[in-house]
Amino acid sequence: MDYALIGGTGIEHFELTDQRVISVETPYGTVEPMIGKLAKHDLVFMSRHGRDHATPPHLVNYRGNIWALRELGVRKIVATAAVGSLSPNHHLGELVLLDQFLDFTKSRPLTFYEGGQQGVLHVDMTEPYCSSVRQVIIEAAKHLGLVVKNGACYVCTEGPRFETPAEIRMFQLLGADLVGMTSVPEAVLARELGMCYASIGMVTNEAAGIADHPLNHAEVMQNLKELEMNVAQLIQTTFELLTPGQKCLCASANAEVGKF
């Protein structure tokens, strides 16, 4: 299976044909992705937060999920993420492709390579999100007449709480455009295993201190409902246009340790 879709908040029930749940044993526990067909491709669908959104962002088994995808042969991952806007350039209801991140997580395992027999990998993250896959998403958006902004700096926080206004001001000073709780270490782990990874940010709320009301998860879910149709069409068309070959540097990111 060359392709995977990782769905976050609001994408848990994405429809696949011929779908079934499988179990994949990994060094980090058993993972149960769904496999099926989308746009005539075999596809792995990974629900990041599990069934019924039961797993908070700081407890997602990121290593197990990404390892399972690689075991299944996945080379290219398209992910979705609900994000909050820190910038007047990004508004509610917009779709944005991430191109950089700031990592403010605190307690998550961040690598597969922890020394000893595993070795150590200082993986290059000059381009955290695969530009080749992002370009295919842009082409898919053009086919559909959708506006998808290409490029935004995402700050990943630990969660599950929302950020304070003081933290948001700090992130703005550091150059962040969007805030969320899941892209790190997901993007890093995919790179460590030589997979292409791109993420579609769905702007569902304004961050604390920018919004004129208290933040709540219900607001995020309501705004996601309004984006669902566009996102589903964008994902469908993206997978129609994707090809399995990797002409980028993602595939060679772990060459120095000789794994996978």
**Where are the chain's structural domains?**
3-257
The answer to whether 116 touches 201, Cβ cutoff 8 Å, is: no
- Interatomic CA distance for residues 51 and 53, integer angstroms: 5
Predicted pLDDT of residue 64: 97
Q: How far is CA 163 from CA 98, 171, 210, 216, 220, in A?
A: 20, 10, 11, 12, 14
Architecture, CATH, for domain 3-257 = 3-Layer(aba) Sandwich (3.40)
DSSP conformational letter for 249: S
The answer to whether 198 touches 97, Cβ cutoff 8 Å, is: yes
Predicted pLDDT of residue 88: 85
Residues of the chain where predicted confidence (pLDDT) is lower than 50: 12
pLDDT single digits (tens) 82-111: 899 998 888 888 999 999 999 999 999 999
User: In 3D, which of 68, 60, 50, 61 has the Cα closest to residue 13?
Assistant: 50
End-to-end CA distance of the chain: 15
- Phi and psi at residue 12, to the nearest 5°: -60, -30
Neighbours of 126 (CB within 10 A): 6
- Interatomic CA distance for residues 162 and 217, integer angstroms: 9
Cis before 160? omega within 30: yes
Predicted pLDDT of residue 177: 96
Q: Which amino acid is at 152?
A: A
Please list the alpha-helical segments (H only) found in 14-75.
62-71
Predicted pLDDT of residue 196: 97
Predicted pLDDT of residue 258: 61
Predicted pLDDT of residue 11: 59
116, with CB counted inside 10 A (0-12, 13-18, 19+), is exposed
Q: How far is CA 77 from CA 49, 101, 219, in A?
A: 17, 17, 28
Predicted pLDDT of residue 211: 58
Nearest-5° angle of CA 244, CA 249, CA 251? 55
DSSP conformational letter for 4: E
